[in-house]
Amino acid sequence: MNPFMLFSKRKETTAKNKRRLIYSRKSAAKIASLLFFSVMFLSLLFNVIFFTKYQTIRNSAKASEESVKDQLKQVENSNLLYSDSISVFTEKFLETYLTIPKEEKARQSRTEELSTFFVSSFDIKRVSDLKDFKGERRVVDLQYVDTKHISNREAKVHFKAVYEITEEQKENAKTSKYETDFVVPVTSNGKGFAVYQNPNMIQEDLKTTMSYEGNAPDGEPITSTETKLLESFLYDFFTSFGVSDEKLPFMAEVSGGLKDQTLQDVNVREAVKEGSLYTVRTDVNYQNSETSINDLYSYELKVEKENNKFFITQIE
């Protein structure tokens, strides 16, 4: 074999291999670049999706947190409006509101103090006009009636008021006494109270004419003989109960009795029994030991009988 031919063939094979190698490297570089940019794109895409979802969850959580805070604040305000302290605040307000001093300097001090009870936007000049009033107004009595809740932020507090107005008239002064109901609109921010508008004045009578029949106690009516025995026992008991003597614990399960009350009479109005347990409704006439006043009191008793002896287990 010709050696030149062998050498020439080897050169041709090497050139083909080089072309294949160059082609393979270019393809690999393109594929690597494509993979790299694909990974980068997917990474950015996932980051955008993650950030968007994270921001959505965060906003949702923040909104929920603010909603819970608002609800808690409303509950807090509601609890304060439903507390007993609202009547204390309103009573103090009415004392200041109804009291009108005679002297001008004292009236200015009243106006300054009164402004602290109202909401900050309230015009204190709208409360009253006293420029033509010569005299004074003073509170005699204030009695809380009830509170009506308009919402979680608003309530109307009802008081009965007794007050006197003394007005100077030419050569003398005239004093008049009034009994009036006042309804005060009150709001709260959860920390305290404020009056949000002028109170209104109404006239309301809580008394009424009505008939009433109480429920009869459960049990069978007792005989006249048992009634007399009960009255004899109750006379001894209420004698001891009126002065809290040493015999009281042996006749009743009570923590203590009265003082300076002298028994005058006992009358059993109604008495029934179930087995050995008696329910007794009785009227008791006591006289105060230091006066001549006689008052009638009504009691309902639970009495047990054992070995022909009575013992009171409950007194109301």
Residue with tokens 């230091």: 290
Positive or negative: CA dihedral 194, 196, 198, 202: negative
Taking CA 249 as the corner, what is the angle to CA 283 and CA 291, rounded to the nearest 5 degrees? 45
Classify residue 33 by burial, with Cβ atoms within 10 Å: 0-12, 13-18, 19+.
exposed
For the record, the structure tokens of 52 come out as 């968007």
End-to-end CA distance of the chain: 140
CA atoms within 13 A on the CB side of 220: 7
pLDDT in tens, the chain (316 residues): 454 454 444 445 555 555 555 556 667 677 777 777 777 777 777 777 877 776 777 777 677 677 656 555 555 555 899 999 999 999 999 999 999 999 999 999 999 999 999 999 999 988 888 988 999 999 999 999 999 999 989 999 999 999 999 998 877 889 999 999 999 999 999 899 999 999 999 988 888 888 888 888 899 999 999 999 999 999 999 999 999 999 999 999 998 899 999 999 999 999 999 999 999 999 999 999 888 899 999 999 999 999 989 999 999 9
**Would you say the pTM of this structure is higher than 0.75?**
no
Cβ 281 vs Cβ 271: under 8 Å: yes
Nearest residue to 85 via CA among 30, 144, 138, 131: 144
For the record, the structure tokens of 209 come out as 């004419």
